[in-house]
Amino acid sequence: MLAHLASSFIFFRNMHSFPRSAQSQAIAILLSGLSLSAWAQETPPTLDTVEIRSATNGASLQSLPTSATVLDGEHMREHQLQVNLSEGLASVPGLQIKNRQNYAQDLQLSIRGYGARSTFGVRGVRLYVDNIPATMPDGQGSLSHIDIGSIERVEVLRGPYSALYGNSSGGVVSIFTETPEGKPFVEAGVAFGSNGQKHFSAKAGGETAQGLSYLVSASRFLTDGYRAHSAADRNVGNVKLSAAIGDDARWTLVANTMKSSAQDPQGLTWDQYLANRKQPSVVAERFNTRKSLEQTQVGMTYERRLSGTHSIALMAYAGHRSMEQYQSIPLTNPDTGYPIQENPKHPGGVIDMSRNYAGVDARWTANFSEAPVPVTLTAGIAIDRVVEDRKGYRNYTGNASAPTALGIKGELRRDEKNTITNIDPYVQATWKLAPTWTLDTGLRYSRVKFDTQDNFIQSGNPDDSGKVTHRKALPVVSLAHALTPDDTVYASVGRGFETPTFAELSYSPNNINGLNLNLQPSVSTQYELGYRQRLRGSVKGQWSAAVFHSQTSDEIVSAGGTGGRTTYRNAGKTRRQGVELQADMHLTPKWQVQAAYTYLDATFRQASGDAAMGNQLPGLSRQNMFVATSYQLTPAWKLGLSAQHASKVFVNDSNSEAAPAFTIASASVGYTKDMGDWRLHAFARVDNLFDRNYVGSVIVNDGNGRYYESAQGRNWSTGVNLRYNF
């Protein structure tokens, strides 16, 4: 292990091997973070110690032996439409999150290059809401049911430490909703934006005399869409109840529901993008490509202190999710004229899926402070299960040569029951080696079982039932040293594990029916060195720097996609390495600056398919920068400016095409007025201030060459929120 840590130190020392532009930008941000104190003239408020709730040992941000970013709910909502998490997470280094301007597909989210290949949902990154998993046992998650209006804080953990959470390699995004205290309140808001965007929200909360904390929120979002054939309608509701049981226990109940429908404009070729960036693909309109979703979920947590040194935490959840998606699978092969979906093994062009899922997590924590080496020990087990009914239909009626209608549910072509189960025991120990030295060790044994029962067996379509189980031990070792109470340096090494998601297993290459059981999980070994400093002088805030290096075998990559359907394969070895810098500082009580920089070198280390050794992994920017400043002009008025830069993104394994680099800016103004028990908040903002034409996201390895998804030009939004405190 020491040899690997030494190699990571050498990697940092040899940053001169990076492109000169990356060096200069990284050094500029780093030096600016160190020199900001010279600009301050006034003393901002004192910073409180921030506890990382998603860490199993309850560590503070300052002592946590991994890269982490904490954002409060007000940051996520300030001067924003409050529709997409991408609005508030641009300031997190290492994280690339992209609004695809396509609500039939989820946001694209990746951390340190993991998750970028996903064409739907979020994979490679674990998602939690109030400690309830938003990631299924197969590693695929969703962000669509999160109501930004009720968020209290967001925690983003990156690097090897995230292996403690199981089937993912990139990191953890953990969201916590508000737990109101004191007198009740009600609030309502409305916001409007370009392209027919409308957002309506309502929230109520408080605490009863008996100590029951309650929160109820609901929102509705409507849009005509920036591109043609991209209208959407999404409704979200959340309920949270929490109460103490005596002095030693607390229970929390959360429930949410989501319903959405959206048209899918699909991607464009480069020529189509240049001709008309707002157009949909021709086949999107022909087949009326679209998706509808419904989800209902309930979860409960129970925490109890058994003694001064022992405690337990229990979590249980259950939910139902259904989806219907109409794809643009063509009727006939353009080269041969042979009907595609009339192949006995073809699963059709309409997906009708229903999922029931549930899980539990039981955890015991003990603090042995009197041991020769004081240690906090946590042990637990997580069990999750998904049962999925998946059906496939032709996306037309009649026959391929003379269809009677397109874009509707036709003949049944697939009927199967899929089951995914994971059983993950885990243990973590935090050792206090010395007053300023802390050693974290952890081990999770992840076991994920996939089982499919084929109920559609016909002549020419044999029984495709099958099962496969993937297992992997995931160790993590981290060492942190507090140079001072406000300066921490740490090193971490761990193993990550990503199984194929069921969406990736669902289709085999070459239009063959049945699961792609040949897909193997990818395994990564990750190293990280980091430094974190909290500033308490004339400037308040913090800044951090981290270098990371990871090697992955059996990388799961796109094998290409045609007609709206993507298949996957295992590549050889890949490597991800880079630098992350972050600064968040109050220069004065009125003036705040945030900055983040990421350099990511993600490459194939073996030739695989169309990828030559040394090619960059598609879907990723090598460099990302974000700078934002806000100024409290008066007690009521607040101004904001931000800028974001991303380098070019290759769209395929061969690196033959790329979406160009872009730099965009935003400006906002907010007004807040207290009027007794009433509070009024209003905002207005302009995004893409200089009206740049750029590609917002890409569809990796699309078989039709429709890689590009257009971002909005200059666009505006404005809204008002009114709150009453009883």
Task: Quick: pLDDT tens for 83-129.
Answer: 999 999 999 999 999 888 999 988 889 999 998 877 677 888 999 99
On the question of pLDDT at 13 being above 50, the answer is no
CA 711 to chain centre: 19
Give the C-alpha separation, 603 to 404, whole Å.
48
Q: Give the predicted TM-score (pTM) of the model.
A: 0.90
CA 532 to chain centre: 24
For 419-449, the three-class secondary structure string (H helix, E strand, C coil) is EEEEEEEEEEEEEEEECCEEEEEEEEEEEEE
Under 8 Å between Cβ of 546 and 490: no
**Average pLDDT, integer, range 6-33:** 39
pLDDT on residue 513: 62
pLDDT per residue as tens digits for the range 627-676: 999 999 999 999 999 999 999 999 999 999 999 999 999 999 999 999 99
Residue 59, both tokens: 């560590």
On the question of pLDDT at 48 being above 90, the answer is no
pLDDT on residue 538: 87
pLDDT on residue 39: 32
**β-bridge mates for residue 360, sequence order:** 316, 383
6 pLDDT band, cuts 50/70/90, is: very low
Buried b (16+ CB within 10 A) or exposed e, 594-611: bbbbbbbbbbbbeebbbb
pLDDT on residue 526: 95
32 pLDDT band, cuts 50/70/90, is: very low
pLDDT per residue as tens digits for the range 455-474: 999 888 888 898 999 999 99
358 pLDDT band, cuts 50/70/90, is: very high
562 pLDDT band, cuts 50/70/90, is: low
pLDDT per residue as tens digits for the range 327-347: 999 999 888 888 989 888 888
157 pLDDT band, cuts 50/70/90, is: very high
pLDDT on residue 518: 84
**β-bridge mates for residue 602, sequence order:** 576
**Average pLDDT, integer, range 519-548:** 93
- 413 φ/ψ sector (left φ>0, alpha ψ -120 to 50, else beta): alpha
pLDDT on residue 337: 85
pLDDT on residue 140: 87
In angstroms, what CA-CA distances link 146 with 176, 189, 275, 322? Answer: 10, 17, 36, 17
pLDDT on residue 510: 65
Cβ-based neighbours of 276, under 8 Å, separated by 6 or more:
none
